[in-house]
Amino acid sequence: MDNSEAWLLLNKIKGLGIVKIKKLLTVHEKAENIFKQKSFPDYIKLNEETKEAIHQANSDMICNDLEWLAKDNNHILPITHDLYPSLLKKSDSPPPLLYITGDPNVLLQPQLAVVGSRNATAVGLKNTYSFCSSLAAGGLTITSGMALGVDGTAHKAAIEAKGTTVAVMGNGLDTVYPAKHRELAHLIAQNGALVSEFSIGTKPHHYNFPRRNRIICGLSLGTLVIEAGLQSGTLITARQTMENNRPVMAIPGSIHSPLAKGCHFLIKQGAKLIESANEIIEELTPLAHSLTEDLSSKIKDIEAKEAQSDTNHEHQNILDAIAYEATSINQIMEKTGLEISELSSALLILELEDKIQALAGAQYIRV
């Protein structure tokens, strides 16, 4: 079992949320090690059903996921990966695993969540297109849920502005919901990414969408509400954004419009009243700078790990060239293809690590 298979299996097992998975990884380090255990620490509080599911887990459970993953442009991103979006990781209850069709790196870019009514008015759709075109052209990734109305218009505006866009789905990425957005989904995958926490084959049940919405706002620097009724799911997304201590912005409308009442309610609760795209940029700029610094630090860490990995690989090649009997420097140079100037520092390090011993006559022996 490799790391990808282990994460796909973990995502299938009921009773394993992010908290318990983190505790398991603290003890067992790698996802694949979890499935090798006969017992688990009591403090992790796994019930018997979950323990049994871990013990009985096998590749038959994830054959559809593996078939999907083998196709071009499909990826998975576990929360332990270096490139898992930092904003999402800091949000409330981040998903342990993301399924992605498209470019995973888009998730690292500054994103704005754009949400609103499925039955938006003509004015609401016009505002959506205008704002999202301007913001996408200015470098913000537009993130939404690919629903009818505001969501779909936001994605289309970003694409037509030659920007990037992310659609978070409430179903497995083997299907498109709503079906009439099949072509749009294809364009989003070419100009950004389709994202889901749900395994392949998951249908778009209504109770999946609040979970989807928390990812939309978790990925984003802030949330822009275009139009919303007082009882809409859009207000749930706005509340989740506030719980993550990120800005909520709302466009006001007519006092006579039912779809303006949700926006007016949010403004009364402290959301920023928005009249132009520039106001959104001003609101998000401090958070965007923080995200950029975080990403720069993360990239430096990754580069350092890669450099260390290259060094370790080179040292291992040198070590493999040295026998448990006296091996001359010329023999080591011949086997490794390295010059004396390249070898000298590595040999010294290997000697300090007590992996080799220097002998008289420029010879070395493994210990």
pTM metric for this prediction = 0.79
Q: Which of 193, 220, 228, 209 lies closest to 90 in space, CA to CA?
A: 220
Q: What is the pLDDT of residue 297?
A: 61
Residue 15's identity, in one-letter code, is G
Residue 340: pLDDT above 90?
no
Q: What is the pLDDT of residue 299?
A: 60
Would you call 222 helix, strand, or coil by DSSP?
strand
Q: Which of 90, 28, 351 lies closest to 220 in space, CA to CA?
A: 90
- Confidence band of 267 (pLDDT split at 50, 70, 90): very high
User: How far apart, in whole angstroms, are the C-alpha atoms of residue 106 and residue 144?
Assistant: 14
CA atoms in the 13 A half-sphere facing the CB of 179: 1
Tokens of 232: 């809409």
Residue 303: pLDDT above 60?
no
Q: What is the pLDDT of residue 189?
A: 97
User: How far apart, in whole angstroms, are the C-alpha atoms of residue 133 and residue 145?
Assistant: 17
Q: Provide mean pLDDT across the span 29-35.
A: 89
Q: What is the pLDDT of residue 2?
A: 86
Is residue 137 within 8 Å of 159, Cβ to Cβ? no
Convert the pLDDT of each residue in 207-224 to its tens digit: 899 899 999 999 999 999
The residues near 100 (Cβ < 8 Å, ≥ 6 apart) are: 74, 75, 76, 77, 107, 173, 193, 194, 195
Q: What is the pLDDT of residue 321?
A: 87
Convert the pLDDT of each residue in 76-121 to its tens digit: 999 998 889 989 998 988 999 999 999 999 999 999 999 999 999 9
Q: Which residue has the higher pLDDT, 335 or 131?
A: 131
User: How far apart, in whole angstroms, are the C-alpha atoms of residue 268 and residue 280?
Assistant: 18
What percentage of residues in the chain have a pLDDT greater than 90? 55
User: How far apart, in whole angstroms, are the C-alpha atoms of residue 236 and residue 232?
Assistant: 8
User: How far apart, in whole angstroms, are the C-alpha atoms of residue 66 and residue 8?
Assistant: 8
CA 326 to chain centre: 51
Tokens of 31: 């996802």
Domain 99-290 has CATH 3.40.50.450: yes
Q: What is the pLDDT of residue 359?
A: 84
Residue with tokens 């207000």: 235
**How is the chain split into domains, by residue range?**
1-66, 99-290, 294-366
Q: Provide mean pLDDT across the span 125-152.
A: 96
What percentage of residues in the chain have a pLDDT greater than 70? 93
CATH architecture, domain 294-366: Orthogonal Bundle (1.10)
The average confidence (pLDDT) of the chain is 89
